[in-house]
A and B are shown apart, each in its own frame.
Chain A
Amino acid sequence: MIAIKLAYRNLVGAGLRTWLNVIVLAFVLFMIIWHYGILDGWNEQANRDMKAWEVGNGQYWQENYDPYDFFTLEESHAKIPEALKKATNDGIVTPILINQGSIYPEGRIQSMLLKGITPDQNVIVLPSEELNVESEEIPVIIGRRMAKSCKLQEGDVTTIRWRDINGTFDATEVKIVKVFNCDVPNVDQGQIWIHIEKLQEMMQAYGEATMFIIGEDFEMNETVSGWEYKDFDFLMTEMNEMMKMKKVGGSFMYVILMLLAMLAIFDTQVLSIFRRQKEIGTYIAMGMTRAQVVSLFTVEGAMHAILAVIFIGIFGTPLLIWLMSIGMTMPAGSDDMGIAIAETIYPVYGAGLIIGTSLLIFVITLIVSYLPARKISKMKPTDAIKGKIQ
């Protein structure tokens, strides 16, 4: 207790030297909280958007379906199983049929996926109801990334070509009835959404689907033969792994920032012990044990971290809240990265993040402060009193 009181006095008395260290530490703390907040916010947004647009509450995949191998698409469709028929009719799950094809915007050729979906589904937020419009050409909807890469816009008519389940190529005209804005590239890039019944007809795969997206009210009671259940966590694995990698990548920056801050603390401590020998001798003469003096200097160093947390609490909190409200606008082109990323990412600061980061900084500061303070225990008090360099 006495060490805390004296350390606080010494720090406040040291003035500018203390505040410079505190500001450096507070800056590091702020940067870590803000950057991790951005990553957590991104993760949360990606989870929310992927659930809403792509993943739902889980999926059933036709047993041959492999999203990473387009060649499996020829074999990965089957009749809607009896076990899922009722849920499909009730709109709790929605079937998706997938086929490979090509699009010919302005005479160019580009590979794409044709995805059939029920226009009246409510399982994902894809604006599939737009597929209900009457049109001479087949109405299709595409995302803004696809529209951008194909230079297509609403109302454009273009040619698509595909192969049915018997291997016969066919082609037709489609009309872009809607270009939707979506943060999930997996439902946008290189894809055209079409009425599922139309696609079934085009593929000669009547009543068939490649996968089912599960809605909120669905309860799975039995395994479905020929179909594999993929839960939400499995479907988010890739995204979560990517966020972990981002955090690891980001942590290099924190390590550098932390090293700089710790160097400042270490330097201050070493200098303090060098400059304050007379003071150390006086402490001992007045009845402090060497261990008490070591702990005083250690607490003094570690208190920089406490003051930094208080500093952030007072000055950083409003800034962090403001940054949370305005978010961080992602640079142009970042939506082509292939991962779910919104135009603006809003940081999320969890209690774990704030307490964990503060504790980490405190512990590291404590260690960095203790290391030079150990030198005090080797000092001769008679020399220290005179301020003799030892």
Chain B
Amino acid sequence: MEQSSIITIKELIKRFPVGKGEFTALNGINLAFNTGEFAGIVGPSGSGKTTLLNIIGSLDTATEGKAVVMGQSTGDLTTKGAAKLRRKHLGFIFQTYNLLPVYTVYENVEFPLLLLQMSDSERRKAINDALEWVGLTDKIKSRPAQLSGGECQRVAIARAMVKKPEIVLADEPTANLDAANSHNILKMMLKLNEELKTTFIFATHDDKVIKYLKRKISLEDGKVVKDEIIKIKGD
């Protein structure tokens, strides 16, 4: 079955000023991601994984080249346009969860829906569905400080998934989790990827994550050194 490209990256270069000179974090990246992919950008620290993810997520812009996400070139977007793209089509999962500390689990998951100005009833249903996917229906009134690391990341996944975005960008989602929690979370994401056809893109160097990837893009010194489709062998 032919799949459409949801993300296209062409000749992307990203340089950062360092002292009087410049550091090239990404150097001539060409990539395309299709709908429903479960892909990972892997590589050692400093290889440019997070930078690439940030550019795809329109949190950062390319120095040269372009990244087209959902048909929109992120470099050409205004700050409002970029915010709209993130609000409507992108979900983020962070290494340190980035939950809002004063909100309950319910409120954290509700947050993206508030930005989308969904009605109360729609919101309630979507939140309950999302919390059911991640198995946290019994923790809706808890605050992040009362949860374990695994639970926090599950809340973060629910928050990223609640609006059913086309793309979820996950930056080292298991780095702060133990092996058991990492596997649970990855299984959960894989399930959501299969059920909702959401495109997942990971930035990781964690073998536990790599094991679950269907596509592995290896980055070294800001360059794609390998892009391979992986056949899942099972758990």
Contacts and interface: CB of A to CB of B under 8 A. Distances in A.
Query: Is chain B a partner of chain A in the same complex?
Result: yes
Interface of A: 2, 5-6, 9-10, 12-14, 278-279, 281-282, 284-290, 292, 381-382, 385-387
A63 to B, nearest CB: 75
Contacts of A287: 83-84, 86-88, 90, 112, 115-116
25 contacts: A6-B111, A9-B103, A9-B107, A13-B101, A13-B102, A13-B103, A13-B143, A278-B98, A279-B98, A281-B98, A285-B94, A286-B92, A286-B115, A287-B83, A287-B86, A287-B87, A287-B115, A287-B116, A288-B83, A288-B87, A289-B83, A381-B60, A382-B59, A382-B60, A387-B96
Interface of B: 54, 57, 59-60, 79-80, 83-84, 86-88, 90, 92, 94, 96, 98, 100-103, 107, 111-112, 114-117, 143, 159
Nearest to B83: A289
- Which among A12, A292, A382 has the greatest number of chain B C-beta atoms within 10 A? A382
Given A10-B102, A381-B59, A2 B83 contact: no
Contacts of A387: 96
A232 to B, nearest CB: 58
Query: What 9 A-B pairs are tightest by C-beta distance, nearest first?
Result: A13-B102, A287-B87, A282-B98, A289-B83, A287-B86, A285-B92, A381-B59, A382-B54, A287-B115
A386 B95 CA distance: 9
A9 B143 CA distance: 13
A13 B103 CA distance: 7
Contact of B114 (A2, A13, A382): A2
A114 B94 CA distance: 91
Given A282-B98, A288-B83, A381-B60, 17 more contacts: A2-B114, A2-B115, A9-B103, A13-B103, A279-B98, A282-B100, A284-B59, A284-B86, A285-B57, A285-B59, A286-B86, A286-B159, A287-B83, A287-B84, A287-B88, A289-B83, A386-B96
Contacts of B143: 13
A235 to B, nearest CB: 60
B54 to A, nearest CB: 5
B114 A5 contact: yes
B96 A278 contact: yes
B86 A285 contact: yes
Contacts of B116: 287
A279 B100 contact: yes
Nearest to A14: B102
A44 B159 CA distance: 60
A2 B86 CA distance: 17
Nearest to B116: A287
Contacts of A285: 57, 59, 86, 92, 94, 98
Given A278-B96, A278-B98, A382-B59, A6 B84 contact: no
A279 B60 CA distance: 17
Contact of B59 (A2, A6, A289, A385): A385
Contacts of B114: 2, 5-6
Contact of B83 (A5, A6, A278, A284): A284
A201 B114 CA distance: 90
A331 B10 CA distance: 83
A381 B101 CA distance: 18
Nearest to B84: A287
B103 A288 contact: no
Nearest to A384: B59
A228 B102 CA distance: 72
A44 to B, nearest CB: 46
Contacts of B84: 287
A343 to B, nearest CB: 52
Contacts of B90: 287
Contacts of B54: 382
A388 B181 CA distance: 27
A287 to B, nearest CB: 2
B110 to A, nearest CB: 10
Contacts of A289: 79-80, 83
Nearest to A285: B92
Nearest to B160: A286
B87 A286 contact: yes
Contacts of A382: 54, 59-60
A13 B107 CA distance: 11
A296 to B, nearest CB: 11
B143 to A, nearest CB: 8
Contacts of A292: 83
Nearest to B110: A9
A306 B102 CA distance: 20
Contacts of A281: 98
Contacts of A6: 111, 114
A2 B92 contact: no
Nearest to B51: A382
A5 B96 CA distance: 26
